[in-house]
Amino acid sequence: MAESTATKDRLVETARKLFWNQGYSATGVAQILKEAGAKSGSLYYFFPTKEDLLREVLERYKALLMPAVMEPVFAKITDPIERVFGVLDAYRRGLLYTEFSGGCPIGNLALELSDAHPEVRRLIAENFTGWTDQIRACLDAAADRLPADVDRGQLASFVLTVMEGAVMQCRAYRSQEPFDAAIAQLRDHFDRLMRERSRSVVSG
Amino acid sequence: MAESTATKDRLVETARKLFWNQGYSATGVAQILKEAGAKSGSLYYFFPTKEDLLREVLERYKALLMPAVMEPVFAKITDPIERVFGVLDAYRRGLLYTEFSGGCPIGNLALELSDAHPEVRRLIAENFTGWTDQIRACLDAAADRLPADVDRGQLASFVLTVMEGAVMQCRAYRSQEPFDAAIAQLRDHFDRLMRERSRSVVSG
DNA sequence: GTCTATATATTGATAGAC
DNA sequence: GTCTATCAATATATAGAC
């Protein structure tokens, strides 16, 4: 029973990495089994189909959001606006560390699979929502520095949009320049939003 | 000879649509042949491998950029800034028309294949560059309405970043809301840039 | 729960007639 | 250039012993 959980975990973790690096369709069950050091009997004991394994991987990503993505940044940065840019910088460093093969695993799967399987699409959307909820919370914590009429939910969605689009271009160009360009523009946008706020406080 | 060109074109066009809807790995050669009404002997007469066919598809996208993407927008809109948002709106309408399965075919392939094949990656990057070059030209044409110190190449890259990231979220949520949110924020950013310029002209 | 062995379908690609 | 027939490899998945 203890060993079986270890095997299941190893299968999910191996599949997670391979789906990330190669995509879902391009990753064969045989490769997952080989790299996880397991046999097909074990995999199909836990997961009736390859797609069930994918769903478990997407559940794992939901569980990893706070401990692996947000909390390491939040532990080092307290200012809520800087937390947003700290999260973005973590993705930037991930790109550099993986020589532009990394990026965002959810984004990859979103474009590959959003049409195919409804349940999978729902889990991808839930991963996005978990991410933007955290960004949204940062923006709410900095509400007094932003114009009162800013739609913070919309702005949080925009932050994810910018991150995903920037990662995509960096992978195509194998360069961090598109990311740096995107962050520079997003930072400029935030600066202008916060400048307006400080003006309206003075004049109001 | 005339017929052979027709067959080749049909194969490329069929592959283009299938790669767009299903991805490269998920599309089998057999399906391409069936929907193009051709046999494997024809396909492998023109293309030694499936990847050669993909490269031809990416060349076709480069050829389609002006007639299929830019010119229809430019024909209706003359203001350079509005041309930028007109191009973005065309993608938005494409998403709605395809019920969120459409989006940007290059973006899909970028995340699926940028790591795998160097030649393919280069062609994807060239497609991105062709797109941003057109946006860049619009921004240059409106240079007198933007702050003098704005990096217009960086801003053009940012426009693509926003488009691609927005399309991705729309497909995951099957909703146009993330796109509308992104455009609202980008429009706000442009408005603030242009407002700064008009202030500096008055004060300078 | 994990193993071996295997089923069945499909993959990308080839050979050779026409 | 296009056809038919087919290859070898790989795909996901299953059966049944242990």
Interface touch A114/B172, C-beta < 8 Å: yes
CA neighbor of B18 nearest in space, from B1, B34, B2:
B34
Task: Give the closest residue to A167 by CA, choosing from A102, A112, A114, A113.
Answer: A102
Nucleotides of D under 7 A from a protein CB: 1-6, 10-17
* H helix intervals, chain B: 2-22, 29-36, 40-46, 50-64, 71-76, 80-97, 105-113, 118-141, 152-173, 177-203
Whether A164 and B160 lie within 8 Å, measured CB to CB: no
Please state the pTM of the whole predicted model.
0.97
| Confidence at B111, pLDDT banded by 50, 70, 90 | very high
Q: What is the mean pLDDT of residues B148-173?
A: 98
Quote the pLDDT of residue A200: 80
Which chain B residues touch A111 with a CB distance below 8 Å? 103, 107-108, 111-112, 168, 171
Q: In the 23-42 stretch of chain A, whose C-beta falls under 7 Å of nucleic acid strand C? A: 38-42
User: Residue B2 — pLDDT band, cuts 50, 70, 90?
Assistant: very low
Write the CB contacts of B125 (distance below 8 Å, at least 6 apart in sequence): A172, A173
Among A161, A177, A182, the residue with its CB nearest the CB of B182 is: A161
Question: Which tokens belong to B183?
Answer: 């455009």
Q: How far is CA A114 from the centre of its chain?
A: 15
Distance B179 CA to D1 C1' (A): 46
Query: Model confidence over A131-154: pLDDT tens digits?
Result: 999 999 999 999 999 999 999 999
Residue nearest to nucleotide D11 (CA to C1'): A28
Q: What is the pLDDT of residue B1?
A: 47
Asked whether the predicted pLDDT for residue B150 surpasses 60, the reply is yes
A-B Cβ pairs (cutoff 8 Å, strict): 158
A185 touches chain B (CB under 8 A): yes
- The tens digit of pLDDT for each residue in B121-148 reads 999 999 999 999 999 999 999 999 999 9
What's residue A4's pLDDT?
Answer: 64
B-contacting residues in A 132-161 (Cβ below 8 Å): 151, 153-155, 157-158, 160-161
Of B25, B172, B184, the CB nearest to A110: B172
Please write the tens of the pLDDT for every residue from B12-46.
999 999 999 999 999 999 999 999 999 999 999 99
Residue A1 has a pLDDT of 46
Residues 6 or more apart in contact with residue B143 via CB below 8 angstroms: B152
In this prediction, the residues of chain A whose per-residue pLDDT falls under 70 are: 1-4, 204
- Residues in chain B closer than 8 A to A169 (CB atoms): 110, 128, 157, 160-161, 164
d(CA A38, C1' C5) / Å: 16
